[in-house]
Amino acid sequence: MTDCGFLDCALFIVTFRFLFLLLLAFSVPARAQNAAPTEVAPVRVEGRRLFDVGPRGPTSGAARAARIERRLRNLIDSDAPIAPFSPSAVKFKNGEYLISIGGVRVLSVTRADSDDAGQSARELALSQGAALSQAVRDARAARSNPLRGAAILMGQSLRELREMIFSLLPRVFAAILLALCFWILAKYARRMAHNATKRFDFDPNLRALSLALSFYGVWFVGILAILSALGLDSSSLAAAVGVSGFVLGFAFKDILSHFLAGILLLISGKISIGDHIVVREFEGTVERIELRALELRTDDNRLVIIPNADVFAAPITSNTDSPHRRRSFTVTLAPDADIEAAQNLVVEALRSTQGVLDDPAPDAIIADLTPTGVLLRARFSTLSLRSDFAPVSSECMKNVQIAFRVAGFAGHSEKVEADEEAT
């Protein structure tokens, strides 16, 4: 059965490059959403993100966040004392909750803000007010004492990291469960394909192709499901698949050409495992037909790996396409030799050699007449396998030479030469 080890590695690399391109593609829709009128923008203090705010009337979310950050910077730079945050710092006025820090109004929480956050406006105002007050006091402490400021920043970073991990855990667990499920489904699909191809007696090459397509086809669907579980938008995913497919087509042009050539070789069934073939200057037995390359074991036990695209484009000689293979060699006779007796002697020597087939029967024909003698061509057939072809050919030439000597054949020049030409 075809070894798909290289295919596993290639698809592993292609998958990770594919995911990288997906991440790049998803950044485009994200920026487009941020440019929409209903955008939200983060409020930051000393580079640390506290929360997001949306638009308020004609004011966009970005402009609103910039105004809040400007007020916070003024508070940090001022020397006015700032007491710990208390609920009394939140006042309700004109349908909004106003948040004040150090006597300065910083933020107003609207009903739209509370609807977006999914909690009451007062609860949202209290939580945002506490966050703003603590951030201002931490920023002042960091400026007055660098060591304390570093410790505060480290603590904040660890808290944010913990919150991010906890927020991602459900999606990660879902992705792991999906990966496990699709791994089981892929193995089950490959087993079903194996049983089906075995039941219908598929060619080994087509069986290997069916197993690979069933296994990786299930995994392709699984990757889409896993990406969806991780929170990737389906429309963005479709766009990224198109972009990444176009990019991968250029980046892996050679690999894809070998892959497609391998599929065509497997489907055609002209070359099978165990065939003895000649591809360009290489001759040997086919050991594996992968989706990228063909592995050929030469007669001197060397392994040659030929890319499928080269195999597909090159002339191929199959020595085992037929169950038997014809071989010939020439025997030189003296000009006055008894040709008919020599022919009978050669045919008997060939028939007595083990491995020579009776059908088609061996024969001996006159190949050429020269001033120095008569060239007699001995022809015989053996099984196409190299293990039969080469040893039987050697035995035939040896037996013919011995037969001439034992018979004391007059006029024999005792010269036997192998002829590699097909007859």
CB 185 within 8 A of CB 178: no
> Rounded to an integer, what distance in angstroms lies between the CA atom of residue 363 and that of residue 351?
9
Length of the chain: 423
Q: What is the pLDDT of residue 15?
A: 46
> Rounded to an integer, what distance in angstroms lies between the CA atom of residue 137 and that of residue 71?
14
Least confident of 95-109, 177-191, 258-272: 258-272
User: How far is CA 14 from each of CA 17, 140, 218, 230, rounded to the nearest angstrom?
Assistant: 5, 50, 16, 20
Confidence class for position 23, pLDDT limits 50, 70, 90: very low
Averaged pLDDT for residues 252-256: 67
Kindly state the DSSP code that residue 252 receives in the 8-state scheme.
T
Convert the pLDDT of each residue in 68-100 to its tens digit.
Answer: 888 888 888 887 777 788 888 888 888 888 888
> In the structure encoding, which two tokens stand for residue 26, read together?
């998803």
Convert the pLDDT of each residue in 281-325 to its tens digit.
Answer: 898 888 888 777 888 998 888 999 998 888 888 888 888 788 888
- Under the phi-then-psi rule, with left for phi > 0, alpha for psi from -120 to 50, and beta for the rest, what region is 293? beta
Is residue 31 predicted with pLDDT exceeding 50?
no
> In the structure encoding, which two tokens stand for residue 292, read together?
């990228």
> Rounded to an integer, what distance in angstroms lies between the CA atom of residue 109 and that of residue 64?
12
Confidence class for position 238, pLDDT limits 50, 70, 90: low
> Rounded to an integer, what distance in angstroms lies between the CA atom of residue 263 and that of residue 213?
10
Q: Mean of the per-residue pLDDT values for the chain?
A: 77
Domains present along the chain, CATH in parentheses: 5-31+168-251 (1.10.287), 41-144 (no CATH), 271-318 (2.30.30.60), 324-419 (3.30.70.100)
Convert the pLDDT of each residue in 178-203 to its tens digit.
Answer: 999 999 999 998 889 888 888 877 76
Q: What is the pLDDT of residue 248?
A: 59
Sign of CA dihedral 174, 180, 183, 184: negative
CB-based burial, 171-206: b 16+ in 10 Å, e otherwise: eeebbeebbeebeeebeebbeebbeebeeeebebbe
- ω into 29 cis (within 30 of 0): no
> Rounded to an integer, what distance in angstroms lies between the CA atom of residue 152 and that of residue 154?
5
Own/partner pairs, 296-302, CB within 8 angstroms, 24+ separation? 299/386, 299/390
Q: What is the pLDDT of residue 153?
A: 64
With a pLDDT cut of 90, the percent of the chain lying above it is: 4
Q: What is the pLDDT of residue 139?
A: 80
Predicted structure pTM score: 0.45
Q: What is the pLDDT of residue 304?
A: 92
Q: Which residue has the higher pLDDT, 201 or 423?
A: 201
How are the residues of the chain apportioned to helix, strand and coil, as percentages rounded to the nearest 5?
Answer: 55, 20, 20
> Rounded to an integer, what distance in angstroms lies between the CA atom of residue 195 and that of residue 63?
65
